[in-house]
Chains A and B, each alone.
Chain A
Amino acid sequence: MDRIRTVTVRSPSMLRETGAVLNVVVQIVFWTAVVTSLTWNRTTGDAAKSKLEIDEVAFASLAPADQRMFRASLEGLGEAEDVRSRTRTWPTVEALAARGIPPFAADPLDHAGYAWRMLRDGTLINYIGTPAASAGPTFVITVLEPDPGTAPDPQVETDETHHRLGDGTMLHVSIWTGPRTLGVAMATPPFEDGWRRITMLSPEAPRT
């Protein structure tokens, strides 16, 4: 036969009950602070990491004249890609200028006097815009085609550095700003010489 056990249950005193509640509150506040702090650090860390690489400069941070040149360069790159899609040949600066395509065409609002030329090395194409007498930065539009015979990868998505031609060919493209002109075609002008790839920040900010 089991023994009968008697247990007396008493309410805690006012002091002990208050202490217990305070303890719970402190625990909640403490651990919430810990979790929030960790989340905050991780979020800001990711954001900072995702913003810019060391050899990049944000379009939004450029001077208005340089923003204008970048926008014109994007337009010119798009037109050059169209010609390449139709004719399988990259157009010359002169051909684009003759059609009035910026930034290659004469620009009455260009106070820096940019002169454009094209360099080519195999599958690498550069359009280089150099200002007269260091009146502004040099701009370089780089295009790198895949090696001949490389099958297009339909899985690769287009973005600011990947443009797809009409025939499916995926190009690697970029626009750079730097202190001086280039003598030879380059896919990645050297960071240590002051070259920066201009990047467009993702449109996440709210409308104002």
Chain B
Amino acid sequence: MRQLTILLALVLGVACSKPPRDDAPAPGSASPAVPAAAPGAKDPRPPAAATPLKVGVTLHPYYSWVANTIAGVPGAEVIPVLPGDVDAGNYQPSPDDIAKLAGLDAIVINGIGHDDFIRDMIKASGNTHLAVIEVNAQTPLVKSAHGEGQNSHTFISFTNAIQQTKLIAKRLGELRPASADAFATNAAAYGDRLRATQRAVAAKLAGAKIKRVVTVHDGYTYLLQEFGIELAGVVQPAHGLTPSASELGELIELMKQSKVTVVLTEEDFPAKLLATVREATGAKVYIISHVAVGAYAPAEFETVMAKNADVLVQALVTDPT
């Protein structure tokens, strides 16, 4: 079905989209493609520093990271490809979204399973100059809770956010060397802020009474590991899937045996299933977020992650006392 949608979008989207920008730099090029003006001629072009740099993103966290990296740099702009209210896990490409890709110079993608739709969309857009920045290219990946696959939720993490923002800054600097220092400085400042939050939360969690939890969604392994919290189990058998009765029964048994008393869930998980877990185990349920939907904003990642951290402190330190 997705293939058909993309095929349809190819026809409609390309027909409606603008052609690729002639001045877009090629992937990995050392400088923006601004040709030299003829001697003595009046150059109508903007100075190199103001050359447009349009950076697309597939996921909400990447929007925040790019927005903070390019902040204050003339001509640089971040453009979300997906509508804000759509989780990438449930996304179907649309012609309008494919049209957005046609005008981009670069796009930041997960590249390890969280946004597989984007590669077909890029092909469909006809943008052959697009620099694809795969943020997980240098990220160590942990296994998923179920199966042998690797966990693609690397973005729900302070450590990964710091390093991946730095990688984005580096790649954007290669595309626009004139702004490379500004990108690096911005990324470093953003990383320092994230690190300060992480350090403050770690100090609070050092005295945690509870150090083992169950999560509904398999998206928090990286975050929990950073804070030394053990993930005892994951409720969903796979992204977005509701567990069967037997799977839920196995998890409840695991929670009883391991004496797990905290479940971290998300707002959209069925309340009845949670009630079953709560009644069977006596566990307390707390809501956290994997920064997947909502209005795109530069501060979104920091805000949501700070809330997540507060929830962890409440669940593991404050409430058990």
Q: Which residues of A does B touch, CB under 8 Å?
A: 59-60, 64-65, 67-68, 70-72, 74-75, 78, 82, 100-102, 105, 107-109, 111, 158-160, 166, 200-201, 203-208
Contacts and interface: CB of A to CB of B under 8 A. Distances in A.
B196 A100 contact: yes
A75 B228 contact: no
29 contacts: A59-B140, A60-B142, A60-B150, A64-B225, A64-B230, A68-B226, A70-B140, A71-B140, A71-B159, A71-B160, A72-B159, A74-B140, A75-B163, A78-B163, A82-B166, A100-B195, A108-B202, A108-B206, A159-B138, A166-B184, A200-B138, A200-B140, A203-B111, A203-B113, A204-B150, A205-B148, A207-B112, A207-B144, A208-B146
Which of A67, A100, A203 has the most chain B CB within a 10 Å cutoff? A203
A71 B140 CA distance: 7
Interface of B: 111-114, 116, 136, 138-152, 159-160, 162-163, 166, 184, 188, 192, 195-196, 199, 202-203, 205-206, 218, 225-228, 230, 238-239
A68 B228 contact: yes
Contacts of A205: 113, 144, 148-150
Contacts of A72: 159
A167 to B, nearest CB: 12
A60 B142 CA distance: 5
Given A108-B206, A109-B228, 8 more contacts: A60-B150, A68-B226, A71-B160, A201-B141, A203-B150, A204-B150, A207-B149, A208-B218
A198 B228 CA distance: 20
Contacts of B188: 82
B228 A65 contact: yes
B48 to A, nearest CB: 19
A158 B28 CA distance: 13
Contacts of B139: 200
Q: Do most interface residues of chain A lie in helix, strand or loop, or is the interface mixed?
A: loop
Given A64-B225, A108-B206, A74 B142 contact: no
A73 to B, nearest CB: 10
Contacts of A111: 228
A59 B139 CA distance: 11
Nearest to B187: A82
B136 A203 contact: yes
B151 to A, nearest CB: 8
A86 B302 CA distance: 27
Nearest to B237: A208
Contacts of B203: 108
Contacts of A159: 138
Contacts of B225: 64, 67-68, 71
Nearest to B112: A203
Given A67-B225, A109-B205, A109-B227, A206 B113 contact: yes
Contacts of B206: 108-109
B11 to A, nearest CB: 28
A67 B112 CA distance: 19
B202 A109 contact: yes
A100 to B, nearest CB: 6
A185 to B, nearest CB: 24
Contacts of A78: 163, 166
A78 B184 CA distance: 12
Residue from B116, B146, B160, B163 whose CB has the most chain A CB atoms within 10 Å: B163
Contact of A74 (B141, B163, B230): B163
A105 B198 CA distance: 13
Nearest to A203: B112
A207 B239 contact: yes
Name the 8 nearest CB pairs between A and B, nearest first.
A207-B113, A108-B206, A208-B149, A208-B144, A203-B112, A205-B149, A109-B228, A59-B140
A107 B206 CA distance: 9
Nearest to A110: B228
A105 B238 CA distance: 37
A58 B148 CA distance: 14
A206 B141 CA distance: 12
A51 to B, nearest CB: 13
Contacts of A109: 202, 205-206, 227-228
